[in-house]
């Protein structure tokens, strides 16, 4: 704990933590020491972690890196975090992220961007940017983030670490601030696949507080990391031919596929006809869900309240206009539009149908093949400010991560070297739903 506290202080310019729980972490460490001496310690004893600022932790501030939740403190601890605490994890602090997890660069945070340790003029990725840099820069051993359309995998790729999103519903969302509820999933940012497996094993499973959490039994993932000798692996032809895919990322993926082939695995190019529809479908559905989820922040129930309101209507309007940043407002407007009476069928209903097609085709490929391998991102970490003005370019950069989110299947990004400038490259792997033990064993074998 002292080691990490010292690092956090020395590297505070990275802006990864919004708050550090120094004294509490020290007290937790002492309690764990006593349990270790007594032989009663849990399986995460001594693991020092950070929490993305979207996870409820009783009596601690929680604000999704948004002005609108200023002063809000959580009244309870979410299920995943509680399960980690029950296994004696040590929580060192609360981590910066994009506002309401909307973004891919951590630049939408009310608290400013997180800096990539490799080049502090470059972004961390997002939305779990603080969580990724905290692991990259050795400010904690592991971070718990959330992934709606790539938010643990993309920053992990930009920071050279492992980012893992389990199957939708594998981990309870109770205590996770909602962005788009049919996509949101808690995920992990770690240095190793082993740590991802261990954290999943503790957090996953049925939960009385989230009726959508899966009832499926939870395998002992951390004991199941031995890969099979032969896998069938597919890669989507079009992803590799995508204009805008950085050639160094392309060759990193090709290099991995070649070595898998050399090891005797079957590696095939496959067709997936919906690549161009992925990002539009994702943004129509997630903004629709977000516009509904975020209606609860109205100045009455939580956090910030506009001081100059004159009546209830103006209280809502002023609080939301002052409290939400521009990206969140843009998405609420877009989501409200696609749900409006005149446009609902043209956009929302159609996007639901396209999502179904994407899911069915993805599931079919993942029955034919054990895994799909693809780049995590089209580029390496870009400069802070570079894409900020071009919203569409920023959205299009999610092209490779949203497939797993639309289909609800698990996906992991593992480090695969760097480009010529030394910036990390991530390669992503998808498996069928609830096949995490196979996905993790495979991911471990290629790292
Ligand atoms: N970049 C995507 C978005 O802005 C993903 C964010 C996320 O997974 N929370 O929606």
CA pair distance 151, 148, nearest whole angstrom: 6
* CB neighbour burial string for 326-358, b if at least 16 within 10 angstroms, e if fewer: ebbeebbebbbbbbeeeeeeebbeebeebbeeb
Per-residue model confidence (pLDDT) at position 388: 80
Do residues 58 and 94 touch, judged by C-beta distance below 8 A? no
Q: Is 151 in the pocket of ligand 1 (CB under 6 A)?
A: yes
Residue of 66, 99, 102, 390 to mutate, ligand 1, most atoms within 8 A of C-beta: 102
Q: Is the pTM of this model over 0.95?
A: yes
Cα(110) to centroid(ligand 1), Å: 16
Strands 424-431 and 371-375: antiparallel
Of 109, 131, 146, 151, which one is the catalytic site residue? 151
CA dihedral 50, 51, 57, 63 (to 10 degrees): 130
What is the three-class DSSP state of 322? helix
Supply the residue whose CA is at minimum distance from atom 4 of ligand 1.
Answer: 103
Per-residue model confidence (pLDDT) at position 358: 98
Which residues neighbour 363 within 8 Å (Cβ) at sequence distance 6 or greater? 407, 409, 432, 433
Backbone angles phi, psi at 426, to 5 degrees: -115, 140
CA pair distance 250, 39, nearest whole angstrom: 49
Topology given in CATH for the domain delimited by 2-223: Amidase signature (AS) enzymes (3.90.1300)
Query: How many residues would you count in the chain?
Result: 447
Do residues 124 and 130 touch, judged by C-beta distance below 8 A? yes
CA pair distance 260, 178, nearest whole angstrom: 38
Per-residue model confidence (pLDDT) at position 393: 87
Per-residue model confidence (pLDDT) at position 22: 98
Cα(75) to centroid(ligand 1), Å: 26
Do residues 87 and 108 touch, judged by C-beta distance below 8 A? no
Nearest Cα residue to 188 out of 216, 231, 222, 215 = 222
Which secondary-structure segment (H or E) carries 52? strand 48-52
Do residues 135 and 95 touch, judged by C-beta distance below 8 A? no
Looking at the predicted complex, does its ipTM rise above 0.85? yes
Q: Residue 146, by phi and psi: left (phi above 0), alpha (psi -120 to 50) or beta?
A: beta
Query: What are the Cα distances from residue 445, in Å, to 225, 230, 236, 281?
Result: 9, 12, 21, 33
Which secondary-structure segment (H or E) carries 48? strand 48-52
pLDDT tens, per residue, the chain with 447 residues: 999 999 999 999 999 999 999 999 999 999 999 999 999 999 999 999 999 999 999 999 999 999 999 999 999 999 999 999 999 999 999 999 999 999 999 999 999 999 999 999 999 999 999 999 999 999 999 999 999 999 999 999 999 999 999 999 999 999 999 999 999 999 999 999 999 999 999 999 999 999 999 999 999 999 999 999 999 999 999 999 998 999 999 999 999 999 999 999 999 999 999 999 999 999 999 999 999 999 999 999 999 999 999 999 999 999 999 999 999 999 999 999 999 999 999 999 999 999 999 999 999 999 999 999 999 999 999 999 998 888 888 998 999 999 999 999 999 999 999 999 999 999 999 999 999 999 999 999 999
Q: Is 147 in the pocket of ligand 1 (CB under 6 A)?
A: yes
Residue that has been written with the tokens 């490929």 in this structure: 365
Whether 151 is catalytic is yes
How many CB atoms are located within 10 Å of the residue 425 CB? 25
What DSSP string runs through 247-286? HHHHHHHHHHHHHHHHTT-EEEEE--TTHHHHHHHHHHHH
Q: Is 287 in the pocket of ligand 1 (CB under 6 A)?
A: no
Q: Is 128 in the pocket of ligand 1 (CB under 6 A)?
A: no
Per-residue model confidence (pLDDT) at position 234: 98
> Within 13 Å and on the Cβ side, how many CA atoms surround 227?
20
Provide the residue ranges of all domains of the chain, joining segments of one domain with +: 2-223
């Amino acid at each position: 704990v002292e080691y990490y506290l010292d690092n956090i202080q020395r590297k505070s310019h990275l802006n990864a933590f919004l708050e550090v729980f120094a004294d509490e972490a020290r007290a937790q460490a002492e309690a764990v020491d006593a349990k270790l001496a007594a032989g009663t310690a849990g399986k995460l004893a001594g693991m020092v972690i950070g929490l993305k600022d979207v996870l409820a932790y009783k009596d601690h501030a929680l604000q999704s890196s948004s002005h609108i939740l200023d002063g809000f403190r959580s009244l309870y601890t979410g299920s995943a975090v509680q399960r980690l605490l029950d296994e004696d994890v040590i929580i060192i602090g609360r981590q910066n992220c994009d506002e309401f997890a909307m973004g891919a660069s951590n630049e939408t945070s009310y608290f400013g961007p997180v800096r990539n340790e490799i080049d502090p003029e470059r972004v961390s990725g997002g939305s779990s940017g603080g969580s990724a840099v905290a692991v990259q820069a050795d400010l904690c051993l592991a971070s718990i983030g959330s992934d709606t359309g790539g938010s643990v995998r993309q920053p992990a790729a930009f920071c050279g670490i492992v980012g893992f999103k389990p199957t939708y519903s594998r981990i309870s969302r109770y205590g996770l601030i909602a962005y788009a509820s049919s996509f949101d999933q808690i995920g992990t940012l770690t240095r190793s696949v082993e740590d991802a497996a261990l954290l999943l094993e503790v957090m996953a499973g049925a939960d009385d507080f989230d009726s959508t959490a899966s009832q499926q039994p939870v395998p002992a993932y951390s004991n199941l990391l031995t890969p099979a000798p032969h896998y069938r692996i597919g890669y989507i032809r079009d992803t590799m031919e995508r204009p805008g895919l950085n050639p160094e990322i392309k060759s990193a993926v090709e290099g991995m596929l070649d070595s898998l082939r050399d090891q005797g695995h079957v590696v095939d190019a496959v067709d997936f006809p919906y690549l161009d529809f992925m990002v539009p479908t994702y943004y129509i559905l997630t903004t629709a869900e977000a516009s509904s989820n975020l209606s609860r922040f109205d100045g009455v129930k939580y956090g910030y309240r506009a001081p100059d309101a004159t009546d209830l209507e103006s209280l809502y309007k002023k609080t939301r206009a002052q409290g939400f940043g521009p990206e969140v407002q843009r998405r609420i407007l877009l989501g409200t539009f696609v749900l409006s009476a005149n446009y609902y069928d043209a956009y929302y209903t159609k996007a639901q149908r396209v999502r179904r097609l994407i899911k069915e085709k993805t599931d079919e490929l993942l029955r034919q093949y054990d895994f799909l391998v693809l780049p995590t991102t089209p580029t390496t970490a870009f400069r802070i400010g570079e894409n900020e003005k071009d919203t569409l370019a920023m959205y299009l950069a999610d092209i490779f991560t949203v497939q797993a989110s639309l289909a609800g299947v698990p996906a992991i990004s593992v480090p695969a070297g760097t480009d010529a400038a030394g910036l990390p490259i991530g390669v992503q792997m998808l498996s069928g739903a609830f096949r995490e033990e196979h996905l993790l064993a495979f991911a471990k074998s290629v790292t």
